[in-house]
């Protein structure tokens, strides 16, 4: 996960990344940017976050002196990412505290209670400036809020899949999970639908599409099936035995 970036006006820059599972979890890269895509190279690997951050700034300052470029001010991400502690009360050691992504707010509930708009209960909510990794969610048994940017994007993509299927199968309005937003020409998930319900429905649609594709592949004309079977039999047939009455080549 990229934690810090420094970009210059020549579309080059440096980034600091973190991978908690790597032997050296922190790395600084140089990168080139083109059409919104970044190519990373020349990684410097570190064990400590403060050493990685110092290396990031040293590399950027050296590059700036050598090539006389100016740093581009990047718009900070105003999104906040909220996660719920579903298995235990919030306390020391029950949530991740990365060097580069520490909690910015906590809501500690009096007890385990139902979370509005979600399909689970929680002991409290923890807010971060950046999204947590999948590994952090598993390690601390946290659940993301449906209001998080990454979850909203995921649900939006799933709504397009489910909405088209609901239209094709003329699902009654009271049973639909989505509705069509004509102003934008896309589908939107209904407010009472949980991320889990939508994900399960989208997965069901994908399985149905895959099953239909397999059935259509099996509906070949009889002639084509016979030809395919003959070809397969020919490929697996061994070499023909020589004619017993035919003389040996050495006798000819």
CA–CA distances in Å: residue 59 to residues 14, 30, 62, 118, 231 = 8, 9, 5, 45, 63
Q: Provide the pLDDT for residue 117.
A: 78
- Mean pLDDT in the chain? 86
Q: What are the domain boundaries of the chain?
A: 2-67, 81-145, 151-216
Residue holding tokens 């002196």? 65
Q: Provide the pLDDT for residue 10.
A: 93
Q: Provide the pLDDT for residue 219.
A: 65
CA–CA distances in Å: residue 29 to residues 5, 54, 180 = 9, 13, 44
Distance CA 237, CA 157 (A): 50
pLDDT in tens, 195-231: 889 999 999 999 998 888 878 766 666 666 667 667 7
Alpha carbon 190 to its chain's center: 23
> Residues 18-29: what's their mean pLDDT?
89
Distance CA 185, CA 76 (A): 30
Structure tokens at 200: 């399960």
Which sign does the torsion angle of CA 241, 247, 250, 252 carry? negative
Q: If you ran DSSP here, which 8-state letter would residue 8 be given?
A: B
Q: Provide the pLDDT for residue 68.
A: 94
pLDDT in tens, 65-78: 999 999 988 765 56
% of the chain with per-residue pLDDT over 70: 85
Whether 165 and 181 have beta carbons less than 8 Å apart is answered as no
Triad 76, 43, 8: Cα angle to 5°: 40
Q: Give the β-pairing of 121-128 and 81-85.
A: antiparallel
Q: Provide the pLDDT for residue 218.
A: 67
> Residues 137-157: what's their mean pLDDT?
92
Answer with the residue of higher pLDDT: 59 or 118: 59
> Residues 15-34: what's their mean pLDDT?
90
Q: Strand, coil or helix: what is 136?
A: helix
pTM of the model: 0.60
Q: Provide the pLDDT for residue 54.
A: 94
| 247 pLDDT more than 70 | no
Triad 240, 246, 247: Cα angle to 5°: 125
Q: Provide the pLDDT for residue 116.
A: 85
Whether 197 and 178 have beta carbons less than 8 Å apart is answered as no
> Residues 48-73: what's their mean pLDDT?
93
| 119 pLDDT more than 90 | no
């Amino acid at each position: 996960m990229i934690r810090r970036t420094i970009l210059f006006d020549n579309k080059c820059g440096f980034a600091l990344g973190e991978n908690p599972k790597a032997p050296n979890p922190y790395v600084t890269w140089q990168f080139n940017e083109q059409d919104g895509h970044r190519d990373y190279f020349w990684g410097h690997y570190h064990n400590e976050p403060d050493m990685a951050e110092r290396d990031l700034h040293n590399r950027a300052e050296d590059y700036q002196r050598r090539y006389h470029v100016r740093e581009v001010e990047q718009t900070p991400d105003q999104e906040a990412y909220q996660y719920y502690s579903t298995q235990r009360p919030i306390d020391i050691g029950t949530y991740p505290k990365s060097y580069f992504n520490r909690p910015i707010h906590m809501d500690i509930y009096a007890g385990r209670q139902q979370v509005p708009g979600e399909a689970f209960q929680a002991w409290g909510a923890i807010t971060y400036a950046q999204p947590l990794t999948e590994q952090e969610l598993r390690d601390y048994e946290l659940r993301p809020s449906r209001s998080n940017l990454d979850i909203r994007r995921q649900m939006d993509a799933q709504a397009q899949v489910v909405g088209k299927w609901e239209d094709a199968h003329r699902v009654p309005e009271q049973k639909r999970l989505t509705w069509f937003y004509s102003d934008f020409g896309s589908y939107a998930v209904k407010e009472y639908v949980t991320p889990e319900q939508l994900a399960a429905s989208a997965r069901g649609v994908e399985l149905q599409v895959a099953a239909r594709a397999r059935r259509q592949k099996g509906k070949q004309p009889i002639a084509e099936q016979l030809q395919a079977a003959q070809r397969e039999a020919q490929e697996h047939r061994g070499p023909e035995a020589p004619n017993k009455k035919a003389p040996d080549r050495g006798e000819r």
